[in-house]
C-alpha cells in the first residue's frame, strides 16, 4: 500500500551507484540552508543527506527529520526526478519554517514544481 504523502522505502534512493550518477550528471541548486541535486527521470525518488561535520546526534537527527518532513509534504507538487536534499550546518539553528521557505525558493527559482 502506497501512502499519498508517505516517505517510505519505495520513494527513497538507496543505491550508491544511483547517488553517484545524480551527483555527476544532475543539476545542483544551492540555497541558504539546503542544497538540492536533481536529475530528471520518469520516477520520483528522494535521498536526505547532511553536510559533514555536524556533531551531536540530537541536532543531526532533528535536521534530518525536518528535511524528511519538508520533502514528504512537498512530494505531490514536485516534478518527477531523482532528488538529493542536503542540509547545511547553518540550518541547525533555524526553525522548520525557515528551512521550508528556503527549499521552496530553490524550487521556485529552478522550476522544480509541477506545471499546474
pLDDT in tens, 39-66: 999 999 999 999 998 899 999 999 999 9
pLDDT in tens, 63-72: 999 999 999 9
Rg of the chain taking only CA atoms, in angstroms: 13
- In the chain, count of helices (H) and strands (E)? 3, 4
Helix 96-109, helix 57-74: angle, nearest 10: 50
Domains defined along the chain, listed by start: 9-109 (3.30.230.10)
% of residues, the chain, pLDDT over 70: 94
For 99, other C-beta atoms within 10 Å of its C-beta total 24
Rounded to two decimals, the pTM is 0.90
pLDDT in tens, 87-101: 999 999 999 999 999
Amino acid at each position: 500500500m502506497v501512502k499519498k504523502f508517505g516517505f517510505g522505502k519505495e520513494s527513497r534512493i538507496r543505491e550508491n551507484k544511483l547517488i553517484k550518477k545524480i551527483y555527476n550528471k544532475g543539476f545542483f541548486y544551492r540555497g541558504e540552508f539546503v542544497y538540492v541535486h536533481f536529475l530528471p527521470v520518469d520516477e520520483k525518488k528522494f535521498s536526505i543527506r547532511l553536510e559533514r561535520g555536524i556533531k551531536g546526534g540530537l541536532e543531526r537527527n532533528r535536521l534530518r527529520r525536518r528535511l524528511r518532513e519538508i520533502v514528504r509534504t512537498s512530494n505531490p507538487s514536485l516534478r518527477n526526478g531523482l532528488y538529493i536534499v542536503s542540509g547545511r550546518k547553518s540550518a541547525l539553528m533555524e526553525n522548520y519554517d525557515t528551512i521550508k521557505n528556503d527549499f521552496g525558493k530553490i524550487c521556485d527559482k529552478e522550476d522544480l514544481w509541477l506545471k499546474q
